[in-house]
Amino acid sequence: MFVSDLIQSPLLLVLLAVVAFLYASVGHGGASGYLALMSLFAFPVTFMKPTALVLNILVSAISFYFFYREKKFEWKLFYPFAITSIPFSFLGGMVTIETHWYKIILATVLVFAVARLLGLYGKEKLVRKPMNIPLALFIGATIGFLSGLIGIGGGIILSPVLLLLGWANFKQTAAVSALFILVNSISGLFGFVAQGGILPISSTPIIVVVLVGGILGAYYGSKKFNTHTLRTVLAFVLGIAILKLYTT
């Protein structure tokens, strides 16, 4: 089946809108979810990476706007990661890896996505701990390179780091992750284009449904909104994608 035919699938478009809604509600762009769905629908890897980055840029920008408007963003929680993640994301975007290894790395990252959706990162710390700047710089570089390599923004990995280390609460984590994803996705996309990659021009239907889902998700997520059931269902879908990626 051609990519143009796959894009017109009603089921795919509905699932993409749901993914955008749920990820935007926690400050994420949704690239890991988009990639999982595209792998389930057998899209070629050459289409998956740039498409996920483009969608990530749109949704994370929307998500950041809503969380910033609610005064949840703190610059000091963002810049140590961004300093190193942006250039390393560009480098990662320039690297093309063999399809088998791409799927293995993506499946591993999706484990973080499932954990995030199921709330397995634990409760937020009651007392904020001061950030370790050298450690944050190292983490930013590592996540940045991985983000550019497979076409994600890195928020799905940064979120548990911020929460588990006690550097931010849930809302602050969502706001920081949204901007982190935005800048890394832009940098990774530039890296992809710089090494000769071609942006998909047939993904307009995908962009439209993802934008709608992202706007609604960011709006409700920045307020108080319980999406527990939908997140559980999405986690199940991502689980299927993980098994498919590991076994193909």
The domain spans of the chain are: 3-247
Beta carbons of 140 and 162 less than 8 angstroms apart: no
Q: Encode pLDDT of 161-189 as tens digits.
A: 888 888 888 778 888 988 999 999 999 99
Q: Say whether pLDDT at 146 is over 70.
A: yes
pLDDT at 229: 63
Give the percent of the chain with pLDDT over 70: 87
Average pLDDT value over all residues in the chain: 82
pLDDT exceeds 80 at position 103: yes
Q: Which residue has the higher pLDDT, 239 or 105?
A: 105
Give the count of beta carbons closer than 10 Å to the beta carbon of residue 122.
9
From 18, 22, 65, 29, select the one nearest 158 (Cα to Cα).
Answer: 29
Q: pLDDT band for 233, please (50, 70, 90 cuts).
A: low
Identify the band that residue 130 occupies on the pLDDT scale cut at 50, 70 and 90. confident
Residue 129 DSSP class: P
Q: Which of 215, 168, 188 is nearest to 21 (CA)?
A: 215
Q: Say yes or no to pLDDT of 1 above 60.
A: no
**Confidence bin at 204 (pLDDT 50/70/90):** confident
Confidence class of residue 226 from pLDDT cuts 50, 70 and 90?
low
